[in-house]
Each structure stands twice: as structure tokens, then as C-alpha cells.
Amino acid sequence: MGKFWVIFVASISILLPFLCNSFSPETPTDRRVLVLLDDFAVKSSHSSYFNSLKLRGFDLDFKLADDPKIALQRYGQYLYDALILFCPSVERFGGSVDVAAIINFVDSGHDLIIAADVNASDLIREVATECGVDFDEDPSAMVIDHTGYAVSETEGDHTLIASDDYIKSDVIIGSKKIEAPVLFQGIGHSLNPVNSLVLKVLSASPSAYSANPLSKLSTPPLLTGSAISLVSVVQARNNARILITGSLSMFSNRFFRSGVQKSGSSTKYEKSGNEQFLTELSKWIFHERGHLKAVNVKHHKVGETDEPALYRINDELEYSVEIYEWSGTSWEPYVTDDVQVQFYMMSPYVLKTLSNDKKGLYSASFKVPDVYGVFQFKVEYQKLGYTSLSLSKQIPVRPYRHNEYERFIPTAYPYYGAAFSTMAGFFIFSFVHLYNK
Amino acid sequence: MATMPASASDLLKSFKLKTKQQELLIRVSILCLVYILAFITRLFSVLRYESMIHEFDPYFNYRTTLYLTENGFYDFWNWFDYESWYPLGRIVGGTLYPGLMVTAVLIYRILRFLRFAVHIREVCVLTAPFFASNTTLVAYFFGKEIWDSGAGLVAAILIAICPGYISRSVAGSYDNEGVAIFALLFTFYVFVKAVNTGSLAWSLASAFGYFYMVSAWGGYVFIINLIPLYVLVLLITGRYSMRLYVAYNCMYILGMLLAMQIRFVGFQHVQSGEHMAVMGVFFLMQVFYFLDWVKHMLSDTKLFQAFLRITVTCAVAVGGIALGLGMVSGYISPWTGRFYSLLDPTYAKDHIPIIASVSEHQPTAWSSFMFDFHILLFLFPAGLYFCFKRLSDATIFIVMYGLTSMYFAGVMVRLILVATPAVCLISAIAVSATVKNLTVLLRSKNKVVQTGSTKGSGGSKSSSKALLDQSQPFQKNGAIALLFGAFYLLSRYATHCTWVTSEAYSSPSIVLAARGAHGNRVIFDDYREAYFWLRQNTPQDAKVMSWWDYGYQITAMGNRTVIVDNNTWNNTHIATVGRAMSSYEDEAIEIIRSLDVDYVLVVFGGVTGYSSDDINKFLWMVRIGGGVFPVIKEPDYLVNGEYRVDKGAAPKMLNCLMYKLCYYRFGEMLTEYGKPPGYDRARGVEIGNKDVKLEHLEEAFTTSNWIVRIYRVKPPNNRWWLNRYKFG
């Protein structure tokens, strides 16, 4: 018996690091990634990108997109934390995977990278549409830019674009400035105007348009200028992150290594910005950056430590919350000065900026308004690039009890005097009236 | 003794005291029987269903009583209930009449003290019948006070089984009215007693009776306006007396001070327009008293006339100015809508749809008078005739009570309840006086034949009747026929009352009963099923949105937070819910989210044919919603002024949230043999929109007979943000 016990403990202690490594709210960085490919050639042609992921500790599982054995979940458990779709031309996924399965995968908090290309299949387009972007409807259209193209050997081909119109967010694309433009060759997409969760990370220049480069342009192109997005990201409400791009080749080794010179510009860069841009972006997508958590939401009356079940109007209270940011390996205090707490009942009655102690503890103290009702402490923190924090804690506020009012009000002393003098007068009057014959 | 009348009568003749004793015995035993009868006739609902609380409001009363027993009086007094009216909350202690709960808890404590291990629910269920029994005793004494003990006995019998009263006092109907009618009648009785005797003690008792009434029901306003009106009439008819002065002043001053102790009433006695009449009459009494004194001091009548003119003018002017100033400065609040709607029955319909929407606030139909009063409706005028014939301070009071309450009963269905005691008393006078006259006729003839001696009390009367007899030969036969007629009528009354109680007023309305195809009783227990589901399957802090009718039940039985409930104190909040129900789904979801609603509950009778469901109440939601939010327009939901749900219905009607929630998945259902799917049995039509798709809500639970349907509000789409806000 004791032997088994030892084995059990040993196996647990061996397995423990692996168990802890898996994706969880405590360690939000993804671990297991499924990569779906059109053919295994991509695995070698895009090996730099995959290697950079592997080096950062990701466990990549390469599968052909039409492999009949692929599955995202088994017995209700997801097998992967993230999915990379490098299979622009797949018409039908193998196994149990379909559009709904991918959407459910995202809706249960997992990340997704979609790379389409010219002649992207309807399937890939459908997934993209579900995520809030629309690829150009013309299957053979490409993004063409006659002024912002990258200078290359083949003269006249302006479909290879060098773009440096990034989103201005250090959280998403890293704090280190990307010097060289990013090479892009593929299909453009536009953002669905009603969806405000989708963001343009890399947009085309105002002179770009989307059309079939081989045929003559007979009608004005539908997608033009900065409306074309080359790379977009979505951060869903449950903080699942999605990357969508219309170019598979921008991930390729060839683009990573090639030099770039933007037309009209004399500077020639030895190496394109693709590697830095996409690596940094993948850090964001896989939650190595910009992931916040709020813990230990506390509130209590000033001078007390216990959390009351309800407050009274005009109470002084203190509210505190700890906010940490995931650095990829550990939770670091998140320091900023723009976190606000609302004391909310249909509309905010109190709106106060929380002060922090640089160690992640944010706190504020304020007075409960002179209104009773069911209030909420609300922290709605939505900052570009960061996961959104939406905390709400319900707390009723009651009016005064009958014995919490002042008993004697100084201004009312004349009335008290009047009442008591009348009583005394009445007593004396009755006495005199009764006994004075 | 009573079983041997022949031998007993001989004995009785020789012992006069024995007659009185026998009468007393009969009277007491009749009263005891009536007391028991009043209680047991109200137990139909317990026998038919089970010992449970009925209707809507009683559930709130039950919940508060439970709170009172568990937490004690001070917590109850300061109770801030955050489970209703989310997110506003309700100060329960300050917005209810605590009399009922305190009474029930008192009874509960006494029973516990006597080692009866009862549950508070049993006490609550039986409180109303118990007080109905007590009311019969008060009716007896009141009848005795205004007429004689015979009238009192008849009044006790009549009120014990009168449907107008039973409707609000069956077992399980744990509502304010249950104890309030007792308090009302008691106050009136003691006040009349005080007026008759001029005794301070009775007057004090009436002040306490009034205090109990104020603590129990908002209907106390009727007392506080009827009594000054009565005093005014006495003053005008020259019946002013010292007795009246003592009774009224003591009752008013003490009653007012006591009533102010009820938080919900507070300073209304000095600040609200509804209570100004009683104050005006109080001052008028002082002026009267003063004038009386001056008249006594002044011997010169001319001088007194001049003085009278000046005083009256001054008094009226001062009173008018004070009232005007009070009104203008806002110190005296104007009359409330409810009060206006009593004086002008059309007022609520035009101005306050929320009052007009309640079925018991509708003007009374003739049939319901007949239903609730039966023969009393015909005896009432006869009783008035007798009262006018023997006018006294007491009969004037009962006449005024009868006439005013009859008027109010005509304005609002529920006020039949207030009229019932008056109608019973006046009818009792009619019955008692008639029967007495007839029996006197019969007996006097016998006595004339035998000895000519008469009973002590009505000696001169019967001898005069005896004289009349000789001129009318068939009088005795006529009297016998009339007596039989009277007893026939009364027995019909008893049958009718029992039938009404058993058929109409004993259903708890939370459990529905219907007759099945084979005449068997079918029970629909859907409400409790739904509330039980809510309690077991939803998070503790889930918020449920429903029309306000079901609010009390959801909080009491489902133990979940509601947005609005039957305490309709905030019209805007109710209008918001009405607006959500009558909007398109994507507009409604904005409102639903802003109120943090998790579940939406609707009541639907299309499957069972249950007619008081949300679709039939829907127009009121539109009206109440439209009263605050003009975007909701009633004509949008009507076709040529007609309300319909079939193919010809208005497009907005077919797509509003309420329609969708009620008829979701109903289009595929066969409800009745030989009818198309989606046939609504409550409306008797095939519904117009069978393909109902819900986007933001999903069906969570539907009870076995589809009467209650609960929908869950879906969280917003994970990948879509249909908002104006944008990051960055």
C-alpha cells in the first residue's frame, strides 16, 4: 500500500509542472496550439514563424485542414488553447470541425489566427465574417498600391505592398518601434461597421485599392484607401483574441528575410518588419501581453474592515481592488492612473478615479449618496489592447433607521418649550379650577 | 327548557325573569352559532385546495409577516427591502399598514404561548375568517345600539354570510381588508355609542378603534371623512349636543395623534387635502360651542344675531384663507388621484391608467351588486324607510354610512366591501322591524282573545294594533303569509350566499381549477410550479422582470428580486417595464439590460383558455408605458380600434416583445381538436405570427400547461459590440 502511495506522490510531483503549464485563468498564456495547413509545405516555408512560437514554449500541433481526425474538443474538453488557420483554400474541414465549432472555440475563450489569401475559400471567409471582417468579395482580388508598393525585381507588380501604418498601441504591437515596413501580398478586407470590437492593426495606404491585378479595371473598386485593412484583430468580450489577415505569405520565411524598400523612399531596409510585427502581434494574441486580472474586490466602511451586507445613506466607505497584468510568466502589478469606480444605480451617482499604491492595489474612498436603493460598485476598464475589466458588485443602500435621526434638534426648542409649558399650564389651570372655590 | 314550549310557557308566565333569561340564552346561543358559522363558511377554500395564501397582495402580507416573526418589530419597522423594485428598493416599514401583520403575529405569539405549535402560515390563512367572526359580534352590538337587539341579531346573521364581505375574508385571503372591516365597524359602533352616551370612555375607545383601522387599511380615509360629514349633518339639522361635542373632539384629537404614529400615514392628518374636512368640522364645533356659550350669556337676542353673523363670517373667512394659503404654499397636499377617481369615476380612465387597469377599481356592474347583496339590495331601501321613520342620532349615522358607501360601491367594485356592513345593518333593521311588526300582529290577536294583557315593553303599540285588527279581517292571514315570504327570502339568501362562497369566492387564484371533458376537476398549479422553478434553478440574485401583477408572488414564493410589484408606488418604473414589453425585441433588450434583468416572466393562457393572462392585460401595458414614454402609441397595436392577435393584427402587435414571448413555439402546437396549430384558446383565434424567433432571449422554462413562461436574457454576443462605444 505504502509503495503505491509513494508512486502516486512521485507521479504527481513529476506531472505537476506540466499540469500547471496548461492554460487557465491563472496563467492565461496559451500552450497548446493547433495549426491547420493546406499542405505540409507551409510548415517548412513558414518555419521561422513557427519556430519563434515553439521557442516561446508553445506546443504546436500541425494538421492538414482536411485531416478527418482533427477535433477541437474531446469529451467536452478543448484539446487546444489556440487555433491557427493557415489554410486559405480549404473548402471543408476534416473531422468534426466546422464554422460553428470554430466560433464556439472562440466563444469559450480561445484564440484564433486566420490567414487568408487570394482565392480564399468560402469557408475561411465565413469564419472571418463571423469575427466581424469581410474579405473582398471578388475571389481573385488583391490589394494593389501604385505608390506604396515594395520595390522588387518584377517591375510593374504592385501587389506586394510595404505598409507601415500600424495601430498606435504599444500593448498590441510591442513597445519597440518597428523600423522597416511590413510586406503584404494578398487579399484585403474591411471591418464591419457595426462591430466595434474589431480593430485595424495594419491598414493600407490611402492610395491602395482592391482589385484583380490581371484584369483591366472596368468598374471602380469597392474597397479603396484606408478602409482596407491588411491585418485586423478582435478582442471578444470574453477576452478571446483573433487575428485576421488576408496574406498567408506575410508569415513566410521569404518575407521575413527579404529586404524592403518602399517605393518613393530611398531607405532600403535589410530586413522587412514582418518578423518583428507578427511576433509581437502573436504575443498579444496568445495573451503574453495586455492581459489584466482584477482580484480581491473589497469594500468596507471607513474605520472598519468587515464587508457589510448593506450600507446606510451618507456612510463613508472605502473600495479597493487589486489589478495585475500578466507578463507572460507571472502576474505583475498594473500601474496606471485611469481606473475609475462607479457607484451605480441606473446611472453613476459617484464616479471616482482610483488611486494606486504601485503594487497593484487600487483604492478610493467616498461618501454614499443620499439616495437609497440597490447600488453597484462598477469598474468598467476598457483600454486599447488590454483585456477589458468589467467588475460589478451589488450592494444595497438603506435609509436611516427610526432611531438614527437626531433626537433633539436645537431649532425645535421653542416647540418643545411650547409643548411642555402648555402641559404645565393646563395642569395648574385644572388644579386651580377644581380646588379654588 | 326550549324543547318543551307548551309546558314552559306556563312556567314562563309565572316567572317574568325567566323570560329574560330564556331570551338571553337564545340570543347568546344564536350569536355563538353565528360566530361559528361566519368562521366555517369561509373555510371552503381550505377544504377544496389546501391551507394556502390566495391572490397577489396577500403574498406580500405573508412575506412581511414572516419577516416580522423572524426579525422582530424594530427590524420590520425599518425594513428596507431590496428584493423588490430593483434597483430602487422599497422601504417596506414606511410604506405599509402594519396592522394586519402585527395582529397575525400577536395571535401567533398567543397561540405559541398557549403551547399550540402552529405555523405562522396557518395563522395568516385563518386571520380573515377569525376577524369576520368578530365582525358579526360588532354588528350585533351596533344593530342593538341603533335599533334593538333583534335587529342586531339579524345584522349579525346577515353579515356572517354576506358574499360582499366573504369575497375578501375567506380563509387564505390574508389581506388588510380582512381585519379592516372589523376595525371600521368597531370604530363606527363605538363612535355611535359615544355620541349616544356622551361618554369620554367610549369616545376614547373609538379613537383607539380608529387607530387600529388606520394601522390596518388605507380605507380609514372613509371614516375620517364620514364622521365629520355626519357631524355636519347633525349640526345643520339642529341636533348639536354636548354628547356630540365630547364624542367628536375626543375622537378626533386622540385619533389624529394616534394615527400619526403610523409611519405610512405620518403627518397626512394635518397636511393632506383628504383630511381637511375633519379639521374644518373640528373648528366649526368650537365655533358652535362658543356661540352656544355666548347665547347663554347674552340675553338680548338681537345682539346675539349680530354677534352670530360676525362670528360666522369671520370663522368661515379665516378657515377659507387658511385652507387657501395651505394649498398655495403646498403645505396642504392636493387630493390624490385615487380620491379624485372616487368622486369622478371617469377621472382615473383619463389620467391614471395604472388605477384604471386594476379590475377591482372598475365601476360596479349591476349584476355584481345582485351577486354580492342578493335580497339585501331590496331590503336596503326598506331599512332606510324604517330609519327615517324613527330618526335618531344613531339612525342618521347608519343612513349616512349606507348612502355614502353605496355611492362608493357603485364607483369601484372593491368598495362593495365597505358598503356591506351598512347594507347588512340597514337590511337587518328592515327585516327585524317587519318581522317584529308581523309577529306582534299575530301575538296581539292571541292575547286579545286570551286576556288582553300585553308584554311590558310594547304595550301601547300592540293595543293600538289590536284596535286596527278589527278593521282588517285578513290581517292575521296576511301577516302569516308575509312572514313565510320573509323566511323564504331569507332562506334563499342563505342558499345563495353559500353557493357564491363555494363557487366564486373560494378559489385561491394561484391554483386554477377547471372542469375537464368528463366533468372532473382539473387543477392547474402552474404558478407555483414556475415560482418553484425560479427558486431552485436561478442564481440567488437573479432579477426577474414581469408585469407588476406577479411581483409579490415572485418575491414571496420564488424568492427572487423583481423589477416592479403590486405596490404600484412608482409609475415610471412600471411604465418602463410596460415599454419594454411593448417594444420590438432589440429595443426592449436595451431596457432589459439597463435594468440588469436576468429572466423575463410572462403569463400565457392560450393553451388552457385562462383569460386573465398577459396578452389580455397587454393594452394596459401599452397605455401605462405610453403615459410616460410617448414613443409607445396605443393605435400602433390596434387595427381599426380593435385589439386582435390573429393575422389581421397590427404589425407592431405581432412583433412586440410580449407577443413574441407569449407565442414563442406556440405556432407549432395543437391546442384543440379540429383547430389549426397555434389556435389560441383564450382568445379563440389562430395566432397571426406563428414563426416567432427570439434573438436576445431564450426560453428557460415553460410550465406544464404553458401558463407561466420564463425566458433567460442571453449575454451580449461575444464577438459583436453593437454599441456606440469603441476602444481607444
Higher pLDDT, B666 or B342: B666
Mutate to test the interface with A, among B75, B263, B590, B727 (most CBs of A within 10 A): B727
Min Cα separation B92/chain A (Å):
11
Query: pLDDT grade, residue A13 (50/70/90)?
Result: low
Which residues, in sequence order, are CB contacts of A202 under 8 Å at separation 6+?
A163, A165, A166, A167, A182, A184, A229, A230, A231, A245, A277
- Quickly state the pLDDT bin for B109 (edges 50, 70, 90): very high
Nearest CA in chain A to B593: A346
Taking the C-alpha atoms of residue B18 and residue A188, their distance in angstroms, rounded to an integer, is 114
Type of residue numbered B92: V
Measured between alpha carbons, how far is B280 from B233 in angstroms, rounded to an integer? 14
Residues A221/A263, Cβ–Cβ less than 8 Å: no
Closest Cβ opposite residue B719 in set A236, A346, A396: A236
Strands (E), A156-310: 161-163, 182-184, 189-191, 198-203, 208-211, 229-235, 241-245, 260-261, 268-269, 291-301
Q: Is the CB of B721 less than 8 angstroms away from the CB of A373? A: no
- Does the beta-carbon distance from A382 to B727 stay under 8 Å? yes
First vs last C-alpha separation in chain B: 100
| Contact between chains at B594 and A346 (C-beta distance less than 8 A) | yes
Note the pLDDT of residue B725. 39
In this prediction, residues A270-279 reach a mean pLDDT of 89
Q: Are A124 and A85 a contacting pair, CB within 8 Å?
A: yes
For residues B135 and B187, give the distance between their C-alpha atoms in angstroms, rounded to a whole number: 11
The closest alpha carbon to B706, from B553, B611, B616, B604, belongs to B604
The pLDDT of residue A299 is above 80:
yes
Which residues, listed in sequence order, are joined to residue A83 by a DSSP beta bridge? A34, A112
The burial of B130, by beta-carbon neighbours within 10 Å (0-12 exposed, 13-18 middle, 19 or more buried), is given as: buried
Give the Cβ contact number of residue A96 at 10 Å: 13
Task: Tell me, yes or no, if A159 comes closer than 8 A to chain B by beta carbon.
Answer: no
- A419 near B CB under 8 A: no
Enumerate chain B positions whose Cβ falls within 8 A of a Cβ in A.
74, 77-78, 80, 82, 86-89, 91, 263, 541, 561, 594, 715-728
A100 Cβ contact partners less than 8 Å away, ≥ 6 residues apart: none
The CA distances from residue A110 to A13, A350, B23, in Å, are 28, 36, 91
Inter-chain touch B80–A372, beta carbons under 8 Å: yes
Q: Residue A20 above 80 pLDDT? A: no
Per the CB < 8 Å rule, is B80 touching A384?
A: no
β-pair type (B543-545, B561-562): parallel
Kindly report the backbone phi and psi dihedral angles of residue B391, in degrees, each rounded to the nearest multiple of 5, phi listed first. Answer: -70, 125
Measured CA to CA, the distance from residue B135 to residue B183 in angstroms comes to: 8
Q: Is A163 on the interface with B (CB under 8 A)?
A: no
Any idea which residue has 375620517 for its cell?
A: B224
CB contact under 8 A, B80 and A374: no
* Residue to test with chain A: of B78, B79, B80, B596, most A Cβ within 10 A: B80
Residue whose C-alpha cell is 367572526: B133
The A residues from 365 to 394 touching B (CB cutoff 8 Å) are: 372-376, 382-384, 394
Q: Closest partner residue to A396 among B89, B717, B728, by Cβ?
A: B89
Cβ–Cβ gap B728/A131 under 8 Å: no
CB B128 within 8 A of CB B175: yes
Instruction: Nearest chain B residue to A167 by CA: give it.
Output: B728
Measure in Å the smallest separation between the Cα of B18 and chain A Cα atoms. Answer: 47
Interchain pair A373, B87: CB under 8 A: yes
Q: Residue B123 pLDDT more than 90?
A: yes
Q: What is the mean pLDDT of residues B657-665?
A: 93
Residues A349-363 have a mean pLDDT of 92
Q: Cell numbers 405610453 correspond to what residue?
A: B626
The one-letter amino acid at B430: A
State which CATH number among 3.30.365.10, 3.40.30.10, 1.20.120.1200, 2.60.40.1930 fits the domain covering A291-398: 2.60.40.1930
Average pLDDT (B132-160) is: 94
Separation between Cα atoms, residue A112 and residue B93, nearest integer Å: 56
> B719–A401: do the CB atoms touch at under 8 Å?
no
B325-333: which pairs have CB atoms within 8 A and are 24 or more residues apart? B327/B273, B331/B271, B332/B271, B332/B272, B332/B273, B332/B276, B333/B271, B333/B272, B333/B273
Given B88, B718, B726, which is nearest A196 (Cβ)?
Answer: B726
User: Which residue among B80, B718, B725 places its CB closest to the CB of A398?
Assistant: B80
User: For residue B507, what pLDDT is reported?
Assistant: 85
Question: Cβ of B719 and A194 within 8 Å?
Answer: no
Residues in chain B closer than 8 A to A242 (CB atoms): 719
The answer, for A345 touching chain B at a CB cutoff of 8 Å, is: yes
Q: How confident is the model at residue B421 (pLDDT cuts 50, 70, 90)?
A: very high
In the structure, what pLDDT confidence band is assigned to residue B16 with cuts at 50, 70 and 90? low
- Which of A169, A197, A238 has the most B C-beta neighbours within 10 Å, making it the best mutation to test the interface with B? A197
Chain A residues in contact with B78 (beta carbon < 8 A): 398, 401-402
For residue B111, how many other CB atoms are within 10 A of its CB? 15
CB contact under 8 A, A194 and B80: no
Return the minimum-mean-pLDDT range out of A271-285, A314-328, B289-303, B577-591: B289-303
Q: How many beta-carbon pairs under 8 angstroms link A with B?
A: 83
pTM > 0.80: yes or no: yes
The one-letter code for the residue type at A299 is H
Instruction: Say what angle helices B571-582 and B614-628 make with each other, to 10 degrees.
Output: 120
The DSSP code sequence of B162-206 is -HHHHTTTSTT---HHHHHHHHHHHHHHHHHHHHHH--HHHHHHH
Q: Domain A18-285 class? A: alpha beta
Angle, CA A10 vertex, CA A6 and CA A16 arms, to 5° = 145
Whether residue A169 lies within 8 A of chain B, CB to CB, comes out as yes
- Grid cell 404654499 — which residue? B329
CA neighbor of B510 nearest in space, from B50, B98, B83: B50
Confidence bin at B601 (pLDDT 50/70/90): very high
Nearest-CA neighbor of A199 among B626, B353, B721?
A: B721
Cβ atoms of B578 and B85 within 8 Å: the answer is: no
Alpha carbon B407 to its chain centroid, in Å, reads 15
Mean pLDDT of B305-334: 87
Residues 249-268 of A with CB under 8 A from B: none
Please judge whether A197 and B594 are an interchain contact, meaning their C-beta atoms are less than 8 angstroms apart: no
pLDDT of residue A146: 86
A208, A186 Cβ separation under 8 angstroms: no
Cell numbers at A390, concatenated: 468589467
Task: Match 501581453 to its residue by C-alpha cell.
Answer: A289
First-last CA distance in chain A: 110
Q: What are the sequence ranges of the domains in chain A?
A: 18-285, 291-398, 407-437
What is the average per-residue pLDDT within B183-199? 95
Q: Which residues of B touch A240 (CB under 8 A)?
A: 718
C-alpha cell at A257: 528575410
Q: Residue B419: is it exposed, middle or buried by C-beta count within 10 angstroms (0-12/13-18/19+)? A: buried
Contact A374 B594 (CB under 8 A): no
- Percent of chain B's residues with pLDDT above 90: 57
Residues of B in contact with A374 (CB under 8 A): 82, 86-89, 561
- pLDDT (0 to 100) of residue B28: 94
Contact B82 A374 (CB under 8 A): yes
Q: Give A207: exposed, middle or buried? Use CB within 10 Å, 0-12, 13-18, 19+.
A: middle
Q: Does A313 touch chain B (CB under 8 A)?
A: no
User: Which residue on chain B is closest to A111 by alpha carbon?
Assistant: B719
Confidence band of A353 (pLDDT split at 50, 70, 90): very high
Kindly tell me if the per-residue pLDDT of B538 is higher than 90: yes
Contacts of A169 in chain B (CB under 8 A): 728
On the question of pLDDT at B43 being above 70, the answer is yes
Instruction: Report residue B58's pLDDT band, with 50, 70 and 90 as the boundaries.
Output: very high
Residue of B263, B718, B722, B725 to mutate for A, most A C-beta atoms under 10 A: B718
Could B722 and A132 be called an inter-chain contact, meaning their C-beta atoms sit closer than 8 Å? Answer: no
A402 touches chain B (CB under 8 A): yes
- What average pLDDT does this structure show over B602-616? 90
Q: Do A375 and B91 touch (CB under 8 A)?
A: no
- Which residues of B fall within a CB distance of 8 Å from A234? 719
Interface check for A86 against chain B (CB to CB < 8 A): the answer is no
pLDDT confidence bin for B453, thresholds 50/70/90: very low
Question: What is the DSSP secondary structure assignment for residue B656, as one 8-state letter?
Answer: B
Picking from A195, A236, A399, the nearest residue to B80 by CB comes out as A399
Q: What is the pLDDT averaged over residues B424-438?
A: 93
